[in-house]
A and B are shown apart, each in its own frame.
Chain A
């Protein structure tokens, strides 16, 4: 299957600082990438849809100024958690959409963010 690389896999940061998470599609170009948040033993919660060359589309209730998304190229999208608080601690996962004859979504390995 296609490969999506997410980095870092784990990060611990202090309250008030910002953290950037990268999502790369390694063997295909992705016009669209998605950012999810996942709480323990819960399903994926879509935060935003990232479109290359345009502004991200945020889901209701997700603060766009807090979760900054940049999709500067067809293989890279970044999520920056700004002014992190302990309640932002979570598992963040990206996915990249591979389109063609079939449309398939491939996921990164996830990033465990802990804000202390």
Chain B
């Protein structure tokens, strides 16, 4: 079993839709959770960073963490074609240096 599982998609939705991206994990030591967005042939860009259960909102993006279920989500409201990218979840534990990544979900927002 992989430490972090993420549905690779691809996921295709119409413009304006609400998008839900999810990751599950098995390591209960993970405390820090990140979502990265990666456009084609570019390095990943940090979108959201959370370290506690609950929701964190930033504009059209909401990151949700449920440590009891070992489940994290990224919601995108009012999705735009420019949101089309691969989204990677990543997580790490206290004192650890390495991030553990999900496989990434390819998202396409259709105009």
Contacts and interface: CB of A to CB of B under 8 A. Distances in A.
Q: A6, A34, A41, A109 — which one has the most chain B CB atoms within 10 A of its CB?
A: A41
Contacts, number: 54
Chain B's interface size range is: 20 to 34
A109 B104 contact: no
A105 B43 contact: no
Given A6-B43, A105-B90, A32 B49 contact: no
Interface string A77-112: 000000000000001010101000011111111101
A41 B41 CA distance: 10
A32 B97 contact: yes
Given A105-B90, A107-B36, A109-B43, A97 B102 contact: no
Given A41-B106, A43-B88, A44-B88, A107 B97 contact: no
A25 interface: no
B78 to A, nearest CB: 22
Contacts of A6: 43
Given A41-B106, A44-B88, A104 B46 contact: yes
Q: B32, B41, B49 — which one has the most chain A CB atoms within 10 A of its CB?
A: B41
A61 interface: no
A95 B97 CA distance: 11
Given A44-B101, A105-B34, 9 more contacts: A1-B45, A34-B99, A42-B104, A43-B101, A44-B88, A46-B98, A95-B44, A105-B90, A105-B99
Interface of B: 32, 34, 36, 41-46, 49, 51, 88, 90, 92, 97-99, 101-104, 106
28 contacts: A6-B43, A34-B98, A34-B99, A42-B104, A43-B88, A43-B101, A43-B102, A43-B103, A44-B88, A49-B98, A91-B41, A93-B43, A93-B44, A95-B43, A95-B99, A97-B97, A102-B51, A103-B97, A104-B34, A104-B49, A105-B34, A105-B46, A105-B99, A107-B43, A107-B44, A107-B45, A110-B43, A112-B41
